[in-house]
Structure 1
Amino acid sequence: MRVVQEKFAELDGQTITAYTLINDHGMEVTSIDYGCIITRMMIPDRDGTIENVVLGFDTLEEYLQHSPYFGAVVGRHAGRIKNGEFELDGKLYRLAKNDRGNHLHGGLRGFDKVIWDSEVKENADSVSLIFRYLSKDQEEGYPGNLKMKVTYTLNNDNEFTIIYVGVSDQKTVLNLTNHSYFNLSGNMKRNILDHVLTLKSDYFVELDEQLIPTGEFRLVENSVFDFRTGRKIRDGVVSKDRQNIIAGNGYDHPFLLTKNHHPQIILEDKESGRSLTIETDQPSVVLYTANQLSGEFKIRGINSQPYLGLCLETQGLPDAIHHSTFPSTILEKDEVYRSVTKYKFSISVKS
């Protein structure tokens, strides 16, 4: 186990560093301290060919100009907040509006667009990268000085774990996730339409025309939202279900997870043999199939296009502050927010 550090770029007089966590089996995870962005995940296929399985860029300039949250930690609140405002204890808080009059993924300068303090921790069977950031009171409109700590850990079992910890000196809202776009074909050789996804979920959250939750939980049964026994992503792209159409012909939906600390999410690419299993303590995962990914830029030489990757954003529900039936994303003063998501990669033998 080891960590390699190198200069990635400079921004406003500050050095951006790239850290590569490497285990003894050829798995590598590279992250930069701008936005805690995961730029690469190098994973072997069934033939032993090691390739990148996430979307990202090679330069900071590309992240600044084009990135749709590739690989970043997003917050303070992942997902959309309707009208960019909410009330706590009778006080109205107005947030930055960056999505058709709504607030999305922390606003104009969320956690994905700041430089985090970073340090490395090495152990015999794991290596960790620890990021820290102080989000000051009223940053993007949120109340409270929020101390954040995000830890990325890679071990020799090909497990990559993210631990989020936050404490605020005022009552606030907090909902964090990582926004990596996965493509298990390796180096984006194919799109993700034939990836097979399994979700332990009986319900998904209905969205309105602006992709804001309506508050209704819909049963997945007898629909293309039923991933309980595995389903190709393609099914939702060609679906005539209104929910798929308003999302841009695909998925951009929260799914309620039926179990915690259990393999709730499995993504497979049959051709490469790569499989990703995700366990989380979060109540939901947002499945986004890159329906809105534009063709206005290149990603490591490949034209950006819809369905080139998919996101599995483990988190609380978007807009939870406006829905009393949703699990709460309110964080009390001095309360410790802690969340863990584990990603495990494996290889299937060709049948």
Structure 2
Amino acid sequence: MSYAGQAPYPLTRFRRLRQSAQVRDLVRENTLTTGDLIWPVFVRDGEGVEEPVTSMPGVVRRSVDKIVEAAREAADLGIPVICLFPYTDPSLKTKDCAEAWNPDNLSNRATKAIRDAGIEIAIMSDVALDPYNIDGHDGFVEGGKILNDETVEALVKQALSQAEAGVDIIGPSDMMDGRIGAMRRVLEENGHKDVMLMSYSAKYASAFYGPFRDAVGASGNLKGDKKSYQMDPANSDEAMRLIERDLSEGADMVMVKPGMPYLDICRRVKERFAVPTFAYQVSGEYAMIQAAAQNGWIDGHKAMLESLMCFKRAGCDGVLTYFAPEVARVLNNG
């Protein structure tokens, strides 16, 4: 059988185009560059601190001064965006989550410090209440239920505080209904018309988030699960409806989370909407590759690069990955 005019074997031999590295480079359909990378980093209190995250080998929580160093390293490597996630002191976690929009909270202080250092890198931030919530949820909890509209009001205040601190890209990861439109309106009204929204539009209630919750200190606080607001892993059409809604409300970019288990969603998003599409290679994906590599079960270097190329092949314009600095060093060295 031939396809689209392709001559049958032996006139067509597909292996001709695989016979050398030079030919494989010539016909490669997708490429991975440092410009495709967003580096998620964890910020904590203190000075001169780099504290390992046990469940994420190679990942640390950094004090603000060390975050500035990390941003400079990322910029030097050609990584265009650094994404901040706070490890909040437990004493600051409350029912009303007021620390989320404190102008001097960890995330905002780190943003300002990077800006003051004059580092040419875009800063992305996370909008959700879980790092500040004594209940560990992305929204307010009342009677065991997650409140949507009241949470959106708080998220808008959080997003505005981040924009005022100097964030370029706001990443709402909460999965509340209506939050993109509410944030876009407030940003416009307050002179932040150029601040971008990368919506976690298709964020699934996944088992792959465990190490991240350790990294931000949310694991011990979480009561119950997040299935009433994060997506059912069995659903695909729903993701299309969510992305269509977020785009209609003013999202500039959309994200699928987790990454590799949801490459089919990435492909559907890109083909249907043709908008800037990102995926988050989440903590569990990263930890699995690292753990298998450390046990000698896989080649971690090759698995890292292959996993990221898979995102590009699926249609992603970029990837949030904890591997970003390591990948950038590999790419820069040819």
Is this a same-fold pair by TM over 0.5? no
TM bin, normalised by shorter chain, reads: under 0.3
For normalisation by structure 1, the TM-score amounts to 0.26
Larger proportion of helix: 2
Computing the radius of gyration from Cα coordinates, the structure with the larger value is 2
Q: Give the number of the structure whose residues are more often strand, by fraction.
A: 1
